[in-house]
Structure 1
Amino acid sequence: MTNDPFSELHSANTEIPQIRTHSPIAIFYKQKIGEKILYTKVQDGEISAFEDEEYHALHKNQNFELMYVLHGELTNFIEDKEYLFHAGEGCLLNTQILHREILSDGCNVVFLNLSPALLRDLFANDSGDGPIFQFLQQNLQSDAQWKRSYIEFSPCLPYQSEGFHVIIDSLQLEVATSKIGRSYFQRGLILRLLDALENANQFTLQQIDLDLSKEDYLVNRVIHLIESRFGNISRKEIEAALHYNPEYLNRLLKRQTKMTIATYAQMIRTQKAQQLLNTTDLTIQLIAERLGFSSEAYFYHYFKKQTGFSPNQYRQKFKL
């Protein structure tokens, strides 16, 4: 990235660039337009934008970074692994993770950078007790400064959370303003955003520890792939994503969960169908489409076989 007015790349070790911002809260947007990237930064009451080449170097961040895909998809290279993130998915990285992103054409993604000092100040007065807050608090401890870990999140139902987008938009407005009281609104919205990520009706979370054993790491990856695709994923697709033999992955998953990939995927797909029937007014046809069934008739057959109820019977009996 040449003449980047948004952040300064610096490093004590020239082989590991580190992106540093100069305020406790900074929001960056990246949008792929043809061969160029449109960069937009919101920080300290100002909005700036410029167009440049995509920055391809593996780097760390001085601050915690929350990435969220607004539209399209991107490939995130985290350490030596490659992951595909779709709209509605994202991750929260600590300061020890080497990473870089490659956006697909039309992709739009937002990055929220939060300084450790800001988070310590926030948590001294108000904090949740779920996995996001625990992850941040653990990583703020001095003995965690070398841990390589992050959290992946994906929508627990096959559509994006409008409420989460409203919080992001509201936070952007408060970071962009110079009006009195902005810091109080910013801090409140950050807490609301982190709390929204912990809403089990909106997001599925998984903490990834890169220093885990190979087996534990791969099982975690398989589980996350199945859950993030609502059970609608084949062994071939898992093989393509993880670059491991599917029979090997199947054995690892069965060893730890007592379920094969196919059985685990069926369980997740059924759970998502039950959740949509319980908590929404979506038609049966639309639920079938969103969960990737080839037809409404096949969905009826599948659901009845898994639960003993037809979708309509299940909704009538269990709808919240």
Structure 2
Amino acid sequence: MSNDPFSKLHAANTEVPQITTYSPIAIFYKQKIGEKVLYTKVQDGEIVAFEDEEYQALHKNQNFELMYVLNGELTNFIEDKEYLFRAGEGCLLNTQILHREILSDGCSVVFLNLSPALLQELFMNDCGEGPIFQFLRQNLQSDSQWKRSYIEVTPCLPQQSAGFHIILDSLQLEVATAKIGRTYFQRGLILRLLDALENTNLFSLQQIDLDLSKEAYLVNRVTHLIEGRFGNISRKEIEAALHYNAEYLNRLLKRQTKMTIAGFAQMIRTQKAQQLLNTTDLTIQLIAERLGFSSEAYFYHYFKKQTGLSPNQYRQRFKL
């Protein structure tokens, strides 16, 4: 990307490229279109776009980076490990993490880059106490540069949060404007965005230690895949995604959680059905469709077997 006007790559004392934006806030969009990628940068009151080959070199960012998949899926190589991210999922990386992304055809993804200086300014008033804010505070400390971890973001329900997308779109508009007062709006929206990520009705957050053992890493990937698909995933699909024998993965999961892949998937699927019944007004038919059941009748049978109540009975008893 030597012609990329978005950023500068610095080798300094290492061969690893570092992406520098020279701005407290920058938003980047990537969309895979055939063999090319459409790059769009929103920064300092300007929007710049161009089409180019996909940049696939391992690199670090000078700023903290929040990646969020808008459509499709991508493979993210974080340090020496491989992760699959689908629409509605994302991750928050500190400045020390090596990474690169490969987008599937039709995938679109947004990257929000926030400078350490900006985050220090935002945290002067001690905003937020959840895992996102704790992660950022820890990594802003000068003695934390060695930490090899990141935050993984997974949607709680099989529907993207309209409120989260409204905040993201509003932030883009404010970063793209040159109007007076924009910096105040931008900072407020960043805090609201981080706070939305910590809403347990919208997202599930997990801090991933990159120095995990192979067994712990694989168990984490299995549970992530099951939770990301809301329990609607087979052993063969997990085997294909992780390139490990399904029976081997099943043994690892059972050793750590006392549950088989089928049992864990069943538990997650039931929990998501309960959450949709409790927190939304979706019809039973739509809930069955969102969770991948072949029919509403099969969902009724499945849910009653798991909980002892029909979906309607459960909703009447526990609706928030």
TM norm structure 2: 0.96
CA distance in 1, matches of 2:266, 2:70: 28
Distance 1:139 1:251 in 2: 35
CA deviations over 1:227-279 (Å, ceiling 9, x no partner): 11111112222222222222232222222222222111111110100011111
Separation in structure 2 between the aligned mates of residue 211 and residue 96 of structure 1, nearest angstrom: 14
For the pair 1:264 / 2:264, whether they are aligned, the reply is: yes
Instruction: List structure 1 runs of 4+ shifted beyond 6 angstroms.
Output: none
Matches within 5 A, 1:139-288: 139-288=139-288
- CA deviation after TM superposition for structure 1 residue 52, in Å: 1.2
C-alpha separation in 2, matches of 1:100 and 1:37:
14
Unmatched tracts of structure 2, length 5 or more = none
Structure 1 letter corresponding to 2:202: Q
Match status 1:60 vs 2:56: no
1:246, 1:138 → 2: CA distance?
A: 37
1:31 aligns with 2:26: no
Amino acid at match of 2:299: F
Q: Aligned-pair distance for 1:91?
A: 0.9
1:213 Cα deviation (Å)? 2.4
1:144, 1:223 → 2: CA distance? 28
Matched, 1:71 2:42: no
One-letter amino acid of the counterpart of residue 66, structure 1: L
Shift in Å, 1:13? 4.2
Report the counterpart of residue 96 of structure 1 in structure 2: 96
**How far has the Cα of 1:169 moved from its partner?**
0.7
* TM-score, with length taken from structure 1: 0.96
AA aligned to 1:288 is A
Q: Cα deviations across residues 158-187 of structure 1 (Å, max 9, x unaligned)?
A: 011111111011111111112221111111
Given that 1:44 and 1:175 are in contact with CA atoms closer than 8 Å, whether structure 2 keeps it comes out as: yes
Counterpart code for 2:66: L
Determine the C-alpha separation between the residues in 2 that align with 1:36 and 1:298: 43
Task: Find the aligned partners of 2:261 and 2:141 in 1 and give their Cα distance.
Answer: 37
Compute the displacement of 1:219 (Å). 2.1
Q: Deviation of residue 21 (structure 1)?
A: 0.8
8 Å contact kept, 1:238–1:246: yes
More off after superposition, 159-168 vs 82-91: 82-91
On the 8 A contact 1:277/1:315 being kept in 2, the answer is: yes
C-alpha separation in 2, matches of 1:85 and 1:255: 26
Query: Is the partner of 1:92 in helix, strand or coil?
Result: strand
The answer for the alignment partner of 1:118 in structure 2 is: 118
The answer (yes or no) to whether the contact 1:2–1:52 under 8 Å persists in 2 is no
d(CA) in 2 for partners of 1:74 and 1:217?
Answer: 19
Structure 1 residues 247 and 13, CA gap change in structure 2 (3 angstroms): farther
1:31 is aligned with what amino acid? Answer: Q
Alignment map for 1:34-49 (pairs within 5 Å): 34-49=34-49
Letter in 2 for 1:174: E
SS in 1 for 2:270: helix
State the secondary structure of the residue aligned to 2:288.
Answer: helix
Provide structure 1 residue ranges, at least 5 long, that are not aligned to the other structure. none
| Structure 1: distance between partners of 2:137 and 2:249 | 33
Rounded Cα–Cα distance in structure 2 between residues aligned with 1:215 and 1:137: 29
Residues matched between the structures, number:
320
Cα distance per residue 1:24-47 (max 9 Å; x no partner): 110011112222211111111111
CA distance in 1, matches of 2:76, 2:217: 17
Alignment-mate amino acid for residue 241 of structure 2:
A
Q: Secondary structure of 2:68's partner?
A: strand
2:182 partner letter: R
Distance in 2, Cα, partners of 1:127 & 1:249: 40
The one-letter amino acid paired with 2:303 is F
Q: Distance in 2 between matches of 1:6 and 1:171?
A: 18
SS in 2 for 1:69: strand
| Letter of the 2:6 counterpart | F
Shift of 1:307: 0.1
Distance 2:292 2:252 in 1: 26
- The Cα of 1:14 is off from its aligned counterpart by 4.9
Letter in 1 for 2:105: D
Aligned letter for 1:292?
G
Percentage of identical aligned residues: 88
Q: Which moved more, 1:251-260 or 1:82-91?
A: 251-260
